[in-house]
């Protein structure tokens, strides 16, 4: 599978049509159907869109390139399920802003990707459409909640996809799948038309096999959107420019709280080796501290569940989606619709969120979690006064077996221990491959940058990628 840059060049040079490229991607999706990466493979819609691209001959940054999006993104006339039974037959009536921007850049969307239900999960095992399997080992998770987005890129079905990251849902599956995944600064990319989980934490971002392709995707979707009140009205840099400028003189912060005894030995060795590469390239290491990291998981799961409780109240069987028990009256309809439509993890989070927002508990839980969030923001501000970016493991371990953590939600939540703080602070973060463990499973390196400094973060990531070949490896059976 070629990169975004290579496919675009083929299209611009008329060596391949958008229709040919779309057919190739669809064929790869069918070949790797056992990964369960797609909820909807839109062959008819994709070929129609490709034909329109061929007729228009655009020269945008994604011209002719086949891509796919997580099944949270509204796409007019296409089934959009959020991985849930409650929206199992829902057909979107409009396009998300990011979908519009992909098309404006010349991309062809070939389908909607599998995910944890309403983006709630770290393993893609909460999907109503079954788990996504990791291309490196199909007995293991591809990560969550954007598991389909990661697997589709890792298996080279498409060169780029979109996902969402609420507490690590781009970076964790990118790490587990051996690819690049980026969570931009909160407000950098519009959330309009993206089904909400936790509105103050959700952020749209790209997956790709290389840092350069990640930069092209981010440039295509970033920018102010008046339809999204949280969208930042700031200029969008040309992210692909200056990527080769290196890291000489760059200060990389090493937060002691992210290098604990709980990290798997292979992960620790790979990340330490990556840090050594940066030193060789001229970066300076700075010891920093994020002292409130230990409270991040607890605070995050109070805040995100509270917001989920509010956001998911709209799924009541009245206006759209699944509706059960209408004949018995309003209360029975609510009860049956939500009981049968939501999976166990979504119910768990809605119940927890409703509890922490309830009278008598709001101050004890939700308000206290908001105060912890403020402290975490301040931790990052102080750390970034001393450095340009932070370097950490993405996840403390490699991809775990399907079914291994499903009976212990707390253990599942701990997969996010190194990723949730970034979301609570609204900062950009990127995961890129930095090695493999003894079982041949990918290891992820995480870089955390300053607000709206994605350009520098991508340049730092590219410097490491250029010196290594981890991103060139493909899973068994993938060409």
Q: Could you give the residue numbers annotated as active site?
A: 70, 145, 169
Cα separation values, 458 from 210, 213, 244, 352, 468, Å: 10, 10, 10, 37, 15
Output Rg (C-alpha) for the chain, integer angstroms. Answer: 21
Which token pair is 40? 């909807």
DSSP reduced 3-state for 256: helix
**What is the DSSP code string of 311-331?**
HGGG-SSSSSS----GGG-HH
Q: At what angle do helices 211-221 and 4-12 cross, to 10 degrees?
A: 70
Return d(Cα 63, Cα 72) in angstroms, integer. Answer: 23
Q: Establish how many alpha carbons lie within 13 A of residue 14's alpha carbon, considering only the half-sphere containing its beta carbon.
A: 3
Contact 106, 58 (CB under 8 A): yes
Token digits for 51?
Answer: 């034909």
Rounded-to-integer distance, Cα 122 and Cα 397, Å: 13
Task: Report CA dihedral (285, 290, 291, 296) to the nearest 10 degrees.
Answer: -140
Q: How far apart are CA 479 and CA 474, in angstroms?
A: 7
Handedness of CA 29, 33, 37, 38 (dihedral sign): positive
């Amino acid at each position: 599978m070629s990169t975004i840059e290579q496919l675009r060049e083929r299209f611009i040079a008329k060596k391949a049509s958008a229709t040919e490229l779309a057919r190739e991607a669809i064929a790869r999706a069918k070949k790797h159907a056992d990964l369960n990466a797609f909820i909807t493979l839109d062959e008819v819609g994709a070929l129609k869109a490709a034909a329109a691209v061929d007729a228009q001959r655009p020269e945008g940054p994604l011209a002719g390139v086949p891509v796919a999006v997580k099944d949270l993104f509204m796409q007019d006339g296409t089934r959009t399920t959020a991985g849930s039974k409650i929206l199992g037959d829902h057909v979107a009536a409009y396009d998300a802003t990011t979908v519009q921007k992909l098309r404006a850049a010349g991309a062809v969307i070939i389908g909607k990707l599998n995910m944890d239900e309403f983006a709630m999960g770290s393993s893609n095992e909460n999907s109503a459409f079954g788990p996504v399997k990791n291309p490196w080992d199909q007995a293991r998770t591809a990560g969550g909640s954007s598991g389909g987005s990661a697997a589709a890129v890792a298996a080279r079905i498409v060169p780029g996809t979109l996902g969402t990251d609420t507490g690590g849902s781009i970076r964790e599956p990118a790490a587990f799948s051996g690819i690049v995944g980026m969570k931009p600064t909160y407000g950098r990319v519009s959330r309009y038309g993206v089904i909400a989980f936790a509105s103050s934490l959700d952020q749209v971002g790209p997956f790709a096999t290389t840092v350069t392709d990640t930069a092209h995707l981010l440039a295509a979707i970033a920018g102010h959107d008046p339809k999204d009140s949280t969208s930042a009205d700031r200029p969008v840099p040309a992210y692909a420019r200056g990527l080769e400028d290196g890291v000489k003189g760059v200060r990389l912060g090493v937060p002691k709280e992210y290098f604990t005894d709980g990290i798997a030995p292979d992960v620790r060795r790979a990340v330490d080796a990556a840090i050594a590469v940066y030193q060789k390239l001229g970066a300076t290491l700075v010891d920093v501290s994020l002292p409130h990291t230990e409270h991040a998981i607890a605070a995050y799961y109070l805040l995100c569940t509270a917001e989920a409780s509010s956001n998911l109240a709209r799924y009541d069987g009245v206006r759209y989606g699944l509706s059960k028990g209408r004949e018995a009256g309003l209360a029975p309809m609510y009860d049956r619709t939500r009981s049968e439509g939501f999976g166990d993890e979504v119910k768990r989070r809605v119940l927890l969120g409703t509890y922490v927002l309830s009278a008598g508990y709001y101050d004890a839980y939700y308000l206290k979690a908001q105060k912890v969030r403020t402290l975490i923001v301040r931790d990052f501000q102080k750390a970034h006064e001393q450095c340009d970016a932070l370097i950490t493991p993405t996840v403390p371990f490699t991809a775990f077996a399907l079914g291994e953590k499903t009976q212990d939600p707390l253990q599942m939540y701990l997969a996010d221990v190194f990723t949730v703080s970034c979301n609570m602070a609204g900062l950009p973060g990127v995961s890129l491959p930095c090695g493999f463990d003894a079982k041949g499973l990918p290891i992820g390196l995480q870089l955390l940058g300053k607000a709206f400094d994605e350009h520098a973060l991508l340049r730092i990531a590219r410097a490491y990628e250029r010196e290594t070949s981890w991103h060139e490896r493909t899973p068994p059976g993938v060409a």
